[in-house]
Amino acid sequence: MKAKIVRPGELTSDHIDRWRQFQTANDALRSPFFSPEFTLAVGSARSDARVAVLIRGGEVCGFLPFHLYRSSIAKPIGGPISDYQGVVTAAPLDGGEILKALRLNAYDFNHAPAAQAALAPGAIHFATSPCMDLSAGYEAYYAQQLLTQKHTLKETQRRSRKLEREVGPIRLEMHDDRPEAWDELVRHKNLSYRELNLPSILDVPWVARTLEAIRSYRHRDFAGLLTTLYAGDKRIAMHMGMRTATTICWWFNTYDREMRQYAPGLIMLLETARQGANEGIRLIDLGKGTEAYKTAVCNGTTHLCEGSIERPGSLPGVLRRFQKLSVRSLATMPLGRYEDYPRRAFARAITHMRLPEELR
């Protein structure tokens, strides 16, 4: 295998077409995070974004978008804002071959599909990303969910009717281009970050530029989504995500805290599913996590993995192999509710997704 490393903006139209062919042919790559436009958007915001064009037998056999972190370590494109990571290819590739072709010592990941043959052998932790499978249509999906989530769904219906009586008719805008809609999303999302005592990722300059670029895409194969829910003239819930022709990723969602008694976030998600299914959406990926609203609406999962691939003789390789050995050894100890601490501590120190704050 050989590799040619380019900046995202240097990808040719033939590269983009080939990339999209790989994505379409592989169900494990259906997420918008695997679309070339996501990489192009990040590349427009950060100067350390790269794409490895993987070549075998003179033919392009895959793409690996990444950030060059230090001299010999790669991090997934988008780093902390990426919910799906890995190689875009139609056929399985070997992770060791990829590192050798790129002359890299390690590639870290924490949201890779477990189906990624190049990465899964290096995983030290597995998780799931809940999703809404709409392939049979919204009505069939909703009828299925009523069997297990009847109380939550009926309560949401009741609150929706109450919202219409007390505030105004409900209306969903799948693509809301108003600048004030984005400003309001950022304001409400930042409030929720402060409530959780977390820094706002939306205020990071390169993230803001990336999301601005994503919102400018409006094509069948890929589009940025700024979705809003109105009650009368009042905007009460907002979501910034992405979609392909068949898949929506649920990404940055928030709502007006004064309206929380009506469950506006859940109403928006269900209305997005209803309208999306009518427009050809077959799956809404909710992202890794166990929040109550995800449990209420999910009827499927995608298996994910976290870890690294590394070249054994290098210093980064030695560190990562020590990390894996330590985590696996500690996993056999009765740590109770602290059982996840060692993995998280090593991840923060070695295989983290942090990127330098400002590169352009």
Domain CATH for 246: 3.40.630
Task: Clarify whether residues 19 and 88 are in a common domain.
Answer: yes
Task: Clarify whether residues 271 and 236 are in a common domain.
Answer: yes
Q: Residue 359 pLDDT more than 60?
A: no
User: DSSP of 174-198, one letter per residue?
Assistant: SS---HHHHHHHHHHHHHHHHHTT-
Task: Clarify whether residues 84 and 155 are in a common domain.
Answer: no
Per-residue confidence (pLDDT) for residue 338, from 0 to 100: 62
Q: Residue 212 pLDDT more than 70?
A: yes
Provide φ and ψ at 49, rounded to 5°: -75, 135
DSSP H helical ranges for the chain: 13-25, 36-45, 95-102, 138-166, 179-195, 205-215, 264-278, 292-297, 315-330, 341-349
Q: Residue 204 pLDDT more than 80?
A: yes
Task: Clarify whether residues 166 and 272 are in a common domain.
Answer: yes
CA-based angle 78:84:85, to the nearest 5? 70
Per-residue confidence (pLDDT) for residue 337, from 0 to 100: 66
In a domain, 252, yes or no: yes
Task: Clarify whether residues 208 and 262 are in a common domain.
Answer: yes
Q: Are 107 and 305 in contact (CB under 8 A)?
A: no
Q: Residue 293 pLDDT more than 80?
A: yes
Q: Is 140 left (phi over 0), alpha (psi -120 to 50) or beta?
A: alpha
* Domain extent at residue 114: 2-125+305-349
pLDDT in tens, 217-275: 999 999 999 999 999 999 999 999 999 999 999 999 999 999 999 999 999 999 999 99
pLDDT in tens, 86-96: 999 999 999 99
Per-residue confidence (pLDDT) for residue 330, from 0 to 100: 73
DSSP reduced 3-state for 322: helix
In a domain, 292, yes or no: no
Crossing angle of the two packed helices 138-166 and 264-278, in degrees rounded to 10: 140
pLDDT in tens, 323-358: 888 877 776 777 666 667 677 777 777 778 888 775
Domains identified in the chain, total number: 2
Task: Clarify whether residues 6 and 81 are in a common domain.
Answer: yes
Task: Clarify whether residues 255 and 313 are in a common domain.
Answer: no
Task: Clarify whether residues 18 and 155 are in a common domain.
Answer: no
Per-residue confidence (pLDDT) for residue 339, from 0 to 100: 67
Task: Clarify whether residues 173 and 273 are in a common domain.
Answer: yes
Task: Pull the structure tokens for residue 262.
Answer: 């009506």
The pTM of this model reads 0.94
In a domain, 233, yes or no: yes
- 17 band by pLDDT with thresholds 50, 70 and 90: very high
In a domain, 339, yes or no: yes
Task: Clarify whether residues 168 and 37 are in a common domain.
Answer: no
Per-residue confidence (pLDDT) for residue 353, from 0 to 100: 84
- For residue 214, CA distances in Å to 13, 101, 222, 223 come to 19, 30, 9, 7
In a domain, 293, yes or no: no
Q: Are 31 and 249 in contact (CB under 8 A)?
A: yes
Report the C-alpha gap between 209 and 230 in whole angstroms: 27
Report the C-alpha gap between 79 and 70 in whole angstroms: 14
* Among the listed residues 19, 7, 10, 9, the one whose alpha carbon sits nearest the alpha carbon of residue 221: 19
Task: Clarify whether residues 73 and 165 are in a common domain.
Answer: no
Mean pLDDT along residues 34-61? 98
Task: Clarify whether residues 119 and 237 are in a common domain.
Answer: no
In a domain, 296, yes or no: no
In a domain, 300, yes or no: no
Please name the amino acid found at residue 2: K
In a domain, 221, yes or no: yes
